Amino acid sequence: MAKVKTDVKKDTKKEVHDSGVHHIGKVRKALLQKLASEPGTPLFVIDHEKIRENYREFREHMPDVQVYYAVKANSNPEIVRTLFDMGCSFDVASMPEFMIVWEIIKDMPDKERQDWIWDKIIYANTIKPIETLEALDHYKPLVTFDNSEELKKIKAHAPHAGLVLRLRVPNTGSMVELSSKFGADPGEAVDLIAQAFAMGLVVEGMSFHVGSQCTNFENYIQALDLSANILKEAESRTGQRIKILDIGGGFPVKYHPGVKSVKTLAKKLNAEIKRLFDPDIQILAEPGRFLVANTCTLVAKVVGKAFRDGKPSYYINDGVYHTYSGQIFDHCTYPVLSFTGGETQISAVFGPTCDAFDTITLSAELPELEIGDLVYSENMGAYTIASSTFFNGFPPAKVVHINK
- Dihedral sign, Cα of residue 146, residue 147, residue 149, residue 152: positive
Q: Are 163 and 202 in contact (CB under 8 A)?
A: yes
Task: Report how far residue 371's alpha carbon sits from residue 165's, in angstroms, rounded to the nearest whole number.
Answer: 54
- Please give, one letter per residue, the 3-state secondary structure of 198-214: HCCCEEEEEEECCCEEE
CB atoms within 10 A of CB 307: 10
Name beta bridge partners: 306. 313
Q: What amino acid is encoded at 165 in this protein?
A: L
Please indicate whether residue 354 is annotated as part of the active site. yes
> How far apart, in Å, are the Cα atoms of 156 and each of 134, 145, 160?
9, 14, 10
Task: Report how far residue 379's alpha carbon sits from residue 79's, in angstroms, rounded to the nearest whole number.
Answer: 15
* Enclosing H/E stretch for 59: helix 48-61
Q: What angle do CA 111, 112, 116 make, to 5 degrees?
A: 115
Q: Which of 88, 214, 296, 354 is catalytic?
A: 354
Task: Report how far residue 73's alpha carbon sits from residue 296's, in angstroms, rounded to the nearest whole number.
Answer: 12
- Please give, one letter per residue, the 3-state secondary structure of 122-154: EECCCCCCHHHHHHHHCCCCEEEECCHHHHHHH
Q: Are 382 and 74 in contact (CB under 8 A)?
A: yes
> How far apart, in Å, are the Cα atoms of 316 and each of 65, 320, 335?
42, 11, 13
| Residues that are catalytic | 354
